[in-house]
Amino acid sequence: MTQTQPEPPQLGRRTLLRGAAVVGAGAVVLGSGAASAATTARTPSGSAPAFVRGGRPSLTHGVQAGDVLTRQATLWSRADRPARLVAEIARDRSSRKAVTVKGPVVTPDTDLTGRFTVRGLPAGADLFYRVRAVDLRDPRRSSAPEVGRLRTASQRPDDVRFLWSGDIAGQGWGVNPSYGGFRIVDAMARRRPDFFLSSGDNVYADGPVAETVTLPDGTLWNNLVIEEKTKVAETLDEFRGQFKYNLLADNWRRFLAETPQVTQWDDHEVTNNWYPGEILADARYTEKRVDVLAERGRQAFHEYVPVAPISPDPEGRVYRVLHLGPLLDLFVLDMRTHKDRNTADKETERDGGVLGAEQTRWLIRELEKSRATWKVIAADLPIGLVVPDGTEQEGLAQGDPGAPLGRELDIAPVLTALQRAGIRNHVWLTADVHYTAAHHYSPDRAAHQDFDPFWEFVSGPLNAGAFGPNALDATFGPRAEFVAAPPRANTSPAEGFQFFGEVEIDGDTAALTVTLRDVEGGALFQKTLLPHRR
């Protein structure tokens, strides 16, 4: 359940200054904590108490921004007690001449988290936001500030750079202090992206961690451990603990403060390969009803992730389109919320088992309306990779090379609609399978031929066990142009085989370049696509 949001604050017309001017003309000082813009990474507690007597409020888990568009951004933080969140936004880190925006009052109802959308920001601007928690009884008492950075999308054809990956703290590989938290994050931070697309499995609610794990060479992997990560998540507080746990990683918390995120969810935010209506046979769970677990997982997700309330879906799915200037529209899918039960996936009748009829209509309609040069589609699941679930199928493909069957029947109409609309500049990004790859799809190799050629790029894991590679299903004619996978299943981040992808769009030529990068940021594969002109 999504928490109720206040009406998004608007920055007034006088704050929309041009050129090198700052965002706003003044700041409201609500306490001595506002005097300094410097912030240091603190190791937040796993579970701050709901009420703390005496002293000033404090922020417990850093700050984040999400779903940043040309003129708006959604901000997030968490306090140690009921308080009001207040943000100051400026063009420089010192917050001189900042504009102050009041956020929500945070309470135990949302685990003291709050997110709020700020509108009226200048387009194409590097901005700094400084968040404080203000005492509800004495506005002169406030927390020390936490500083974050964001860049709004440009309304001009300027350069764009963003990263994507997924699968965080999975298979027992958690927050390791030896790497500052998550090993790959420092390499991601060095790329200075405009935003980060998190492609699902943002937490592993079904993945407890132990303090130490013995690696193949006999050395130890060391995990930070909190109570909520010692068992599978069942209660709402245990689901909340999954997100708090990841924010114990110092470098991850800093990265999220400096890099806006666009987040989708998949299965491990609840439990592995879940579907609505499922009754678990897993002995680790006392609550067997997945619908109950999913509702708690969904609430924790919305409390801890700065997703803007822009999804058009009336049933709680989080698909949405982000218009990021004339060069890029980003379509974020939800392929999990209404996913059907895993079977052999060879049904011959389309039943909406992954996208659903409403989301499919929305996606086709918004793709046809899009005037951006590139349409990037963020999918929870790869299109052509076979992802087994025991003897059943978890993914879209199932290994049958013939005409579309099962969940492929949800994808075929989208690909055909793109062809009929003459939309050639679409690229699909995904994670999920815990290795990295570049796939080219062509009707010349396909059983289903009513589509134009396109590329799909796979990346991940960010910090989880590495697996793969998976077999390709020939229905849509994929060919693996590049694959990097581990030598054995569940290799640890210490051994490498953690991956992220980078997308760059050139403002002058509109060429889109995808680079697949390794745990140290090294380029493994690169492909430049030139825009098709209609």
Q: What tens digit of pLDDT does each residue of 109-128 get?
A: 999 999 999 999 999 999 99
Mean pLDDT of 11-30: 31
Q: Does residue 450 have a pLDDT over 90? A: yes
Which residues neighbour 127 within 8 Å (Cβ) at sequence distance 6 or greater?
23, 73, 89, 90, 91, 121, 149, 150, 151, 152
Measured on CA atoms in the order 167, 170, 171, 174, is the torsion positive or negative? positive
What are the structural domains, with CATH classification, of the chain? 13-151 (2.60.40.380), 160-529 (3.60.21.70)
User: What does the pLDDT read at residue 52?
Assistant: 52
User: What does the pLDDT read at residue 338?
Assistant: 87
Q: What tens digit of pLDDT does each residue of 264-308 get?
A: 999 999 999 999 999 999 999 999 999 999 999 999 999 999 999
Asked whether 149 and 258 are in contact (CB, 8 A), the reply is yes
Residue 460, token pair as written in the block? 């991940």
User: What does the pLDDT read at residue 455?
Assistant: 98
User: What does the pLDDT read at residue 23?
Assistant: 31
Q: What tens digit of pLDDT does each residue of 346-371 get?
A: 999 888 889 999 999 999 999 999 99
Determine which helix (DSSP H) or strand (DSSP E) holds 321, and give its type and residue range.
strand 320-323
Asked whether 325 and 156 are in contact (CB, 8 A), the reply is yes
User: What does the pLDDT read at residue 28?
Assistant: 25
Distance (Å, rounded) from C-alpha 8 to C-alpha 103?
A: 9
Task: Specify burial of residue 502 (Cβ count, 10 A radius: 0-12, 13-18, 19+).
Answer: buried
Bridge partners of residue 132, in order along the sequence:
86
Predicted structure pTM score = 0.91
CA-closest candidate to residue 199, choices 257, 269, 254: 269
